[in-house]
Structure 1
Amino acid sequence: MAWHDRVKTALDESRTLILGAQILLGFQYQATFQDRFDTLPRHARVMAAMALGLMLLTIGLLIAPSAYHRIAERGRSTGRIHILIGRLAAAALLPFAAAFGLDMAIATEHMLGGDIWAGGAAGAGLTALALAGWYGAGMIMKQHTGAAERHKARAQQDRRAVAPLHARVEQMLTEARVILPGAQALLGFQLAMVLTAAFEKLPALSRLAHGGALFCVAMAVILLITPAALHRIVWAGEDSERFLRVGGGLTTLALLPLALGLAGDSYVVAARIANARSAGVAAAAATAVVLPGLWFLWPMAARRSRSISAQRRRQSRRRFGS
């Protein structure tokens, strides 16, 4: 398999994971505005807040490879990005499984009339089952198979391949498709939220924060869809280096309003769960630090570090040559 095809396959796997993650993220946001949410006991509300944080982390980890590929690797197909996509996807499954279990515990406890032990057992059982399927099965299988493939991947982690233009365009569009579901899920929640009775009872600051978050996520969705529209309208569906640069830039830029939108509605939801503005501020601040850190600061730091290292190597070669 060509190297760019391996990167594309890894991105497709992340896309599969995020399609599942968006369902739980949408539930976390929507649940707090359901009529029966206020009747939940305090521990269930705390669990809902924890699940929201875990799902935001999951989404952040699943989207991070796309940002890293665009910023740090400049869209090139490298062994490093291939391995990184797999590692971040594997890391994202842990908070995903934990949030899955917390949501199941809340739902089961409520269905059984407040039986906390049954809810806890259902949540723990589902988390254990998810971890067994996502990690345990792989750990067992790797003892007997896949050693050659893993060794080959590690040996080629510093490899760089010049992918054909069509492959690079396809990777860029796939990265947009990885990010878009999370933005769509949040946008759907935001639009439906304003029609609930609970929204009318929110403090003015929460309604204002939601309005700002709604605008940010709508902007992210527009930016993510724009490359496909430009590809058809401007370039008639043909690949070009100019389209690759424009599309990649728009896809990366969309992450900024998406992060702000997630942070804004994290404030709204956390403040409602805890009935305290300070909880909302803490949730929004954490989201505004973690997501841009994963999507922008880390890739930019990696890119700068490599540029400095490359410059030092060139200087060393010149000194050695002289």
Structure 2
Amino acid sequence: MKVDPRQPNKGDVPDEADLPEDGDFSDMLSEMRIVLPGAQTLAAFLIILPFNGGFRNIVQSEKYVFLATLFFALSSLILLSGPAVQHRVMRPLMDRERFKRYATRQIVAGSIALGIALVLGTNLVVSEVFGHKIGLLVATVIGTIVAGVWWMVPLWLKRNKRV
């Protein structure tokens, strides 16, 4: 009987390349535990902001930026915490792989919403302190950093099989 060297023996422990692409469920939960506090902190800051006396003095366009920032921050919080709540409600999971795929999509959508909220929040704060033009410039820089670090670098590394 000929043995295919590419196939692991029955007694072998699979290496990471043999594991499913979406990773282990506990890895996904750990990743959510890292991203979720950022969304919570931003949402909490935005929720209390209108109750500060100076908020009434910002111009109408900044109030729209605030509203959009709040919307994206709360959306990210809902999407990032969704898989944990859904997992608890759906216990026991009948199709674990399908749930992981769905939860991964929610986490990615929540991360996109968080990235947008970070950019808008940056614009809101810096515009108030230094003016609209500087606010847009700094928000653009932050948006570029988020897009690069969160999305472009990992996709480049994956495409080039560097990690």
Instruction: State whether residues 80 and 111 of structure 2, in contact with CA within 8 Å, keep that contact through their aligned partners in structure 1.
Output: no
Instruction: State whether residues 193 and 199 of structure 1, in contact with CA within 8 Å, keep that contact through their aligned partners in structure 2.
Output: yes
Structure 1 residues 20-31: aligned runs within 5 Å: none
Instruction: State whether residues 183 and 220 of structure 1, in contact with CA within 8 Å, keep that contact through their aligned partners in structure 2.
Output: yes
1:265 maps to which of 109, 121, 126: 121
In structure 2, C-alpha distance between the alignment counterparts of 1:161 and 1:288, rounded to whole Å? 33
Q: Which runs of 5+ in 2 are unaligned?
A: 1-14
Matched, 1:286 2:150: no
Tell me: CA distance 1:296–1:226, structure 2 relative to 1, closer, same or farther (3 Å): same
Matched, 1:201 2:48: no
Please name the residue that 2:35 is paired with. 179
Please name the residue that 1:224 is paired with. 80
Instruction: Give the aligned residue type for 2:116.
Output: L
Instruction: State whether residues 259 and 287 of structure 1, in contact with CA within 8 Å, keep that contact through their aligned partners in structure 2.
Output: no
The number of aligned residues is 146
Secondary structure at the aligned position of 2:92 is classed as coil
Aligned-residue offset at 1:233: 2.1
Instruction: State whether residues 231 and 238 of structure 1, in contact with CA within 8 Å, keep that contact through their aligned partners in structure 2.
Output: no
Q: Which runs of 5+ in 1 are unaligned?
A: 1-158, 310-322
Instruction: State whether residues 172 and 248 of structure 1, in contact with CA within 8 Å, keep that contact through their aligned partners in structure 2.
Output: yes
Aligned-residue offset at 1:301: 1.6
Give the TM-score normalised by the residue count of structure 1.
0.43
Instruction: Give the aligned residue type for 2:41.
Output: A
Aligned-residue offset at 1:191: 0.5
Secondary structure at the aligned position of 1:198 is classed as helix
Instruction: Give the aligned residue type for 1:297.
Output: M
| Larger helix share, 1 or 2 | 1
Structure 1 residues 24-173: aligned runs within 5 Å: 160=16, 162=18, 168-173=24-29
Instruction: Give the aligned residue type for 2:55.
Output: F
In structure 1, C-alpha distance between the alignment counterparts of 2:141 and 2:104, rounded to whole Å? 27
Matched, 1:302 2:146: no
Aligned-residue offset at 1:160: 2.6
Please name the residue that 2:98 is paired with. 242
Give the TM-score normalised by the residue count of structure 2.
0.81
Instruction: State whether residues 256 and 292 of structure 1, in contact with CA within 8 Å, keep that contact through their aligned partners in structure 2.
Output: no
Superposition RMSD in Å = 2.1
Please give the per-residue CA displacement for 1:262-308, whole angstroms capped at 9, x wherever unaligned.
1111111101111x1111101211111111211111111222222xx
Please name the residue that 1:79 is paired with. none
Q: Which runs of 4+ in 1 moved over 6 A?
A: none
Structure number with higher relative contact order (C-alpha < 8 Å, ≥ 6 residues apart): 1
In structure 2, C-alpha distance between the alignment counterparts of 1:168 and 1:239, rounded to whole Å? 14
In structure 2, C-alpha distance between the alignment counterparts of 1:238 and 1:187, rounded to whole Å? 33
Please give the per-residue CA displacement for 1:149-208, whole angstroms capped at 9, x wherever unaligned.
xxxxxxxxxx736569xx811110110111000000000000000111111111111111
What percentage of residue pairs aligned between the two structures are identical? 25
Tell me: CA distance 1:225–1:174, structure 2 relative to 1, closer, same or farther (3 Å): same
Instruction: Give the aligned residue type for 2:114.
Output: L
